[in-house]
Structure 1
């Protein structure tokens, strides 16, 4: 290889590195941010120092609160939402959501009762028969965050209502009652057909740390390759 070819190859490597290295560093930093965020959620999930017992307390909580809660009340009869596209162990299903009304208030709050398996026929919704519901619901409460959907979330006219996301504003229009932008994920299933293995309960911040190490390792390897190639090109240039 001539001296000119070596310099030309080194310039192309420099250009390639200038484009790829910032991307690798960004991905590593992004994984570190995700690990830090999940560490906060993990600690909040296992923090039992605060227990919310009244719907009125929710107005004083921050947007990122994830707290233990225990509410008394009843679920609005025959008013169910089925959160679509929820999978467990590779099986398609729904998360069943009811609307809690407290004995002394008019506000409603979504209560996620757990996951249930979907029928292979998408036109058939699962039959919801929960004859014995408790009058106290315990679990973790968190604010409902806006969610991205690939298509319009079309709602049917009747119940149960199959939805892609929990949209409290649309629920308020449908029910003509205030719906709080919070959801309670119950700790224990109220029926044997429901599963309450919430993803937040098994967060693994270490996984994102591992990904970050991989991206930073790739960035370091690229820098070492660049240094070695540059030194080799300089040595060949000096020999010629």
Structure 2
């Protein structure tokens, strides 16, 4: 009798664990969706503000997600191509071809810092398709010569992907890389880089795609996942209720037959 009670309690305990876990996962997905929508609203408010002008003076405040404007000359020799970046990852273009993100330092004027390094900022210029047969065969893309003014959005870091186990130090000096860290690249090149990356939005005639993912990209997907998790929790509750009701009916029928 006691063993039977234990066996009856175990399925109920397992069901309660399932309900708790799926409800928690549903709440987590809802929070992720709300975070992306809140960031999109913040960016919309920041877009109404005038752009921040970047210069050779180190930034004294955080300008992440702000519109920025900077004038300088592209250091084309130090251009880096970030591999394994699908186009349309944000859902705008529907084009999921593999390609590169093109990153080029923009040297800001002739002024040097106290250590003699030239002041510069990394420009995330856009997306370039990759050759399907030979990833090292890079399609030509023009880079403006002379002084150019770039407008875009300030990012705290270069967008990352999973590095496939390769350390950043192993990629130093390579034109094609998986990821790029601002501090590491500054040490590698000797440039005094501003602590941000500019996702370029102005057109410089280079033919690169710049349909960056919107800030709320993926919010609908998170809502969908939340619905699935909450649905599973609700289904488990219904199953527990139905099975409990059937168990009580069987117990009542057994008692009635014994009395008879």
TM bucket by the smaller chain? 0.7 to 0.9
1:173-204 residue CA offsets vs partner (Å, 9 max, x unmatched): 21112223311111134235310011135625
Change (3 A) 1:224 1:94: same
Look up the match of 1:61. Answer: 62
Aligned to 2:24: 26
Q: CA separation in 1, counterparts of 2:152 and 2:159? A: 21
Larger Rg: 2
2:106 to 82, 89, 100: 100
Q: Does 1:190 pair with 2:243?
A: no
TM-score (norm 1): 0.83
**Residues paired across the two proteins, number:** 234
Equivalence for 1:119: 131
Return the alpha-carbon distance in structure 2 between the equivalents of residues 150 and 128 of structure 1.
Answer: 27
Q: Residues 129 and 156 of structure 1: is their aligned pair in 2 closer, same or farther, counting only changes over 3 Å?
A: farther
User: CA RMSD of the aligned region, Å?
Assistant: 2.8
> In structure 2, what is the Cα distance between the partners aligned to 1:177 and 1:191?
26
Distance 1:157 1:192, change over 3 A: closer
d(CA) in 2 for partners of 1:133 and 1:155?
29
Instruction: Please name the residue that 1:143 is paired with.
Output: 156
Counterparts of 1:1-240 in structure 2, within 5 Å, are 10-47=8-45, 48-50=47-49, 51-55=51-55, 56=57, 58-61=59-62, 65-88=64-87, 89-103=95-109, 104=111, 106-120=118-132, 121-132=134-145, 135-144=148-157, 147=160, 148-152=162-166, 153=168, 154-155=170-171, 157=173, 161-191=175-205, 193-200=207-214, 203-240=217-254
Seen in structure 2, the aligned counterparts of structure 1 residues 6 and 190 have a Cα distance that, compared at 3 Å, is farther
Partners of 1:178 and 1:40 in 2: how far apart? 33
3-state SS of paired residue (1:23): helix
| Compared CA separation, residues 4 and 87, structure 1 to 2 (3 A) | same
Deviation beyond 3 Å, 4+ runs, structure 1 = 3-12, 55-59, 125-129, 131-134, 145-148
**Alpha-carbon distance in structure 2 between the residues aligned to 1:191 and 1:83:** 20
Distance 1:133 1:4, change over 3 A: farther
Relative distance call for 1:36 and 1:223 in structure 2 (3 A) is same
Deviations 1:192-220 (A, max 9, x none): 53100111356252332232122112211
Q: TM-score, normalised by structure 2?
A: 0.78
Partners of 2:7 and 2:18 in 1: CA distance: 16
